[in-house]
Amino acid sequence: MLKISGWSLIRLYTILIYAFMFAPIVVVLVLSFNPEQFGSFPMKGFSLRWFVKLAHNEPILHAFKNSLILGSLTAVFSTAVGILAAMAFVRYEFPGKNTLNTLLISPIMIPEVILGVALLLFIRWLQQPKSFALLVIGHVVLTLPYVLLIVQARLVGIKREYEEAAMVLGANALQTFKEITLPLLTPAILAGMLFSFTISFDDITATLFWATAQNQTVPVKIFGMLRNSISPEINALGTVMIILTIAAPLLAGYLSRKFAKGA
Amino acid sequence: MQEKSWKPWALLGPALSAVFFLLVVPVCFIVVYSFWLRAPTGADIPAFQFGNYAKFFADFFYPSILIRTIRVSLETVALCLIMGYIPAYFFYQSQTKFKSLLLLLIMLPFWISFIIRTMSWINILGDTGLINYFLIKAGMLSKPLGMLYNEGSVLMGLIQYLLPFMILNIYVSLEGIDKSLIEAARSMGCTEWQAFKEVTLPLSLPGVSAGCLLVFVLTAGTYLPPMILGGPGNEMIANLIFKRVIGTLDWPFGSAISVMLLTLLVVIVWTYNRYLGIGQIFKSLQ
């Protein structure tokens, strides 16, 4: 009897923690459909009013475009650099391997404020203005450690033997890469790109240092809007962001399964 | 194999140069700048003096922000530990077939916009927010309870952001425990609680300490929750840096504060690594 009640307490506690974690998300989703002028309770019906208003908000659409381009460029560069480094760590033995691995991953623990100031000081010294390129470079530095961690975990499973078998059977280096290595790498590449895209798309702190009035991303825009007060439009924008960031991993999961079947 | 020894270095080249030129070198710039002078005109003058550091410690205003940062970080660590251990234990012991789904769900907020999650606490704690609305409707309050813009609301935002890191670190460490050890303890007459206390808990400590370190370090450098959910008295060190660098363009002083934050974190991480090893932390992030 005691065992059962102890376990149900643990289960109840866990459910409460889930409620805590999801409360802010659920509240945004619910409030974004409130037609009221002020984004707060009580709910006075169900309306898409704020989504329609959002769709006509030029500055936000512009920020969305910026965020998408920035996220995509970050994903490409960060994953390319990350995959190469991960191959070195997974495939080869060389002196200082563990130290270098820790060195490349440790930026995760450096506060974004420090990264923000550091890169800004650096381009100031180079006498360059803040630009979109700075955002891309900054976001690659921010996402690289995560990409390296994710991709490395995926790559461990790919055995050297597959490639050697292809070579023995008469494939040349290019064929081996195209037929064996690349298909095996695809899930790792997708995971890396998805991860870096999401981190870049969501990033706020470092981006606040690097963004200019022309290069605002969606989170920077939201941050600016919050200075006035919390409007229902922000909740609607939040709903769009939540749906996007949940849909993206699901889509990637679906695609990678499709790839796996096709192979 | 000898002739292949250059290959890993070629593969590592882009990553190493990115980290060196875009991280190591710029951080060195912060250190150099922290010794520079700021002219009354706002220009930076190369120098080697400790004026920026002296200014920081000249009165109690700036050190109190540093102390508050450390205090809030410790509070966040403690609360994440209290809130995180039991769910992690639940994942470890649970037989449910939805376990991987539940784990995925606890990771889900990680994918969702940080600023939206932080901002939404205003919807919950604000004067016209969820809690006040229900309490007033239920007749328990006549006017809204001020729950926003204080240390409590900042902690809500911080915990919501950092709890998954704590849970995952503890879970990874629990998952590594050989269950037959617990069975052995039970068969030798331990009660379930004793088996937990003598076997499971000590073996999960590496995950606990890794989670604590990660949460502390991430809280100490945090900018957004105190900015959005805190009042004027809840400023943390990152807010101060932003204000000095972007607000008043005082680069040398902003650099000096950055150096102090970085030093604090390096000392903590280095000490941790010296005695406990840092590898554990990266395990959970995979």
pLDDT at B70: 95
pLDDT in tens, A231-246: 788 889 999 988 887 8
Each domain of chain A, given as residue ranges in start order, spans: 58-262
Measured between CA atoms, the residue of chain B closest to residue A39 is B123
B224 shares contact with chain A (CB less than 8 Å)? yes
pLDDT tier at B285, thresholds 50, 70, 90: low
pLDDT at B286: 57
Once rounded to an integer, what is the mean pLDDT over residues A194-211?
A: 91
Once rounded to an integer, what is the mean pLDDT over residues A112-122?
A: 92
What distance in Å separates the CA atoms of residue A68 and residue A56, rounded to the nearest whole number? 18
Once rounded to an integer, what is the mean pLDDT over residues B34-52?
A: 84
Return the C-alpha torsion angle B204, B263, A152, B14, nearest 10. Answer: 180
B263, amino acid identity:
T
Once rounded to an integer, what is the mean pLDDT over residues B163-181?
A: 89
A125, amino acid identity:
W
Q: Single out the residue of A254, A262, A82, A85 nearest to residue A183, CA to CA.
A: A262
What distance in Å separates the CA atoms of residue A117 and residue B128, rounded to the nearest whole number? 37
Cβ pairs bridging A and B (under 8 Å):
247
Helix (H), strand (E), coil (C) string for A52-73: HHHHCCHHHHHHHHHHHHHHHH
pLDDT in tens, A157-195: 777 778 788 888 888 878 887 888 788 888 888 888 988
Highest mean pLDDT among A2-16, A38-52, A68-82, A105-119: A68-82
DSSP-assigned letter for residue B148? S
Q: Do residue B224 and residue A205 have CB atoms under 8 angstroms apart? A: yes
pLDDT at B7 over 90: no
Tokens of A16: 């409460």
Tokens of B80: 């994440």
pLDDT at A81 over 90: yes
Work out the minimum CA distance from A261 to partner chain B, whole angstroms.
22
Phi, psi of B132 (to 5 degrees): -60, -40
Name B250's Cβ contacts closer than 8 Å, sequence gap at least 6.
B38, B244
What distance in Å separates the CA atoms of residue A237 and residue A234, rounded to the nearest whole number? 5
pLDDT at A137: 94
Cis? peptide before A249, omega within 30° of 0: no
pLDDT in tens, B98-153: 888 888 888 888 888 899 999 999 989 988 888 888 888 888 888 888 888 889 99
Helix (H) or strand (E) holding B180: helix B179-187
What distance in Å separates the CA atoms of residue B285 and residue A102, rounded to the nearest whole number? 13
pLDDT at A230 over 80: no
pLDDT in tens, B205-248: 988 999 999 999 999 999 999 999 998 889 999 999 999 998 88
B262 shares contact with chain A (CB less than 8 Å)? yes
For chain B, strand residue ranges (E) read 37-38, 44-45
DSSP-assigned letter for residue A43? P
A contact residues 56-115, partner B, Cβ 8 Å cutoff: 80-82, 84-85, 87-89, 91-92, 94, 100, 102-115
Q: Do residue B15 and residue A144 have CB atoms under 8 angstroms apart? A: yes
pLDDT at B1: 44
Total Cβ atoms within 10 A of residue A80: 17
Helices (H), A131-231: 132-155, 160-168, 173-176, 182-202, 205-210, 218-226
Measured between CA atoms, the residue of chain B closest to residue A139 is B22
Measured between CA atoms, the residue of chain B closest to residue A236 is B116
Cβ atoms of B216 and B166 closer than 8 Å: no
pLDDT in tens, B263-281: 999 999 888 888 877 666 6
Give the ipTM of the model, two decimals please. 0.87
Measured between CA atoms, the residue of chain B closest to residue A12 is B87
B266, amino acid identity:
V
Cβ atoms of B130 and B137 closer than 8 Å: no
Provide, as residue numbers in chain B, all residues whose Cβ is less than 8 Å from the Cβ of A144: 15, 18-19
Picking from A31, A97, A113, A231 by the largest number of B CB atoms within 10 A of its own CB, the best residue to mutate is: A113
Total Cβ atoms within 10 A of residue A88: 22
Helix (H), strand (E), coil (C) string for A155-176: HCCCCHHHHHHHHHCCCCHHHH
Query: Percent of chain B beyond pLDDT 70?
Result: 95
Q: Single out the residue of A193, A75, A17, A98 nearest to residue B282, CA to CA.
A: A98
pLDDT at A208 over 80: yes
Residue A260, burial from CB neighbour count under 10 angstroms (0-12, 13-18, 19+): exposed
Helix (H) or strand (E) holding B161: helix B151-175
A140, amino acid identity:
V
Tokens of A162: 């597959």
What rounded mean pLDDT belongs to chain A?
85
Between CA B249 and CA A246, with CA B219 as vertex, the angle to 5 degrees is 100
Give the nearest partner residue to A84 out of B14, B89, B116, using CB atoms.
B14
Give the nearest partner residue to B119 out of A116, A149, A230, using CB atoms.
A230
pLDDT at A1: 47
Name A192's Cβ contacts closer than 8 Å, sequence gap at least 6.
A75, A78, A79, A82, A83, A147, A150, A151
Q: Is the dihedral of CA B184, B197, B76, B219 positive or negative?
A: negative
Question: Does the domain spanning B57-115+148-285 belong to CATH 1.10.3720.10?
Answer: yes
Q: Tell me which CATH homologous superfamily contains domain A58-262.
A: MetI-like (1.10.3720.10)
Q: Do residue A27 and residue B120 have CB atoms under 8 angstroms apart? A: yes
Residue B206, burial from CB neighbour count under 10 angstroms (0-12, 13-18, 19+): buried
> On the CB side of B57, how many CA atoms lie within 13 Å of its CA?
6
What distance in Å separates the CA atoms of residue A116 and residue B262, rounded to the nearest whole number? 13
**More confident call, A72 vs B183:** A72
Rg (CA), chain B: 24
Q: Do residue B120 and residue A42 have CB atoms under 8 angstroms apart? A: no
Provide, as residue numbers in chain A, all residues whose Cβ is less than 8 Å from the Cβ of B244: none
**Strand pairing partners for B276?**
none
Tokens of B78: 């403690």
For B85-190, strand residue ranges (E) read none
Residue A167, burial from CB neighbour count under 10 angstroms (0-12, 13-18, 19+): middle
Cβ atoms of A139 and A215 closer than 8 Å: no
Work out the minimum CA distance from B60 to partner chain A, whole angstroms.
23
Name A133's Cβ contacts closer than 8 Å, sequence gap at least 6.
none
What distance in Å separates the CA atoms of residue B91 and residue B76, rounded to the nearest whole number? 22
What rounded mean pLDDT belongs to chain B?
88
Cβ atoms of A33 and A47 closer than 8 Å: yes
pLDDT at B128: 82
pLDDT at A252 over 80: no
Least confident of A38-42, A163-167, A211-215, B248-252: A38-42
pLDDT at B2 over 50: no
pLDDT tier at A263, thresholds 50, 70, 90: very low
Tokens of B268: 């903590």
pLDDT at A190: 87
Once rounded to an integer, what is the mean pLDDT over residues A210-220?
A: 90
pLDDT at A147 over 50: yes
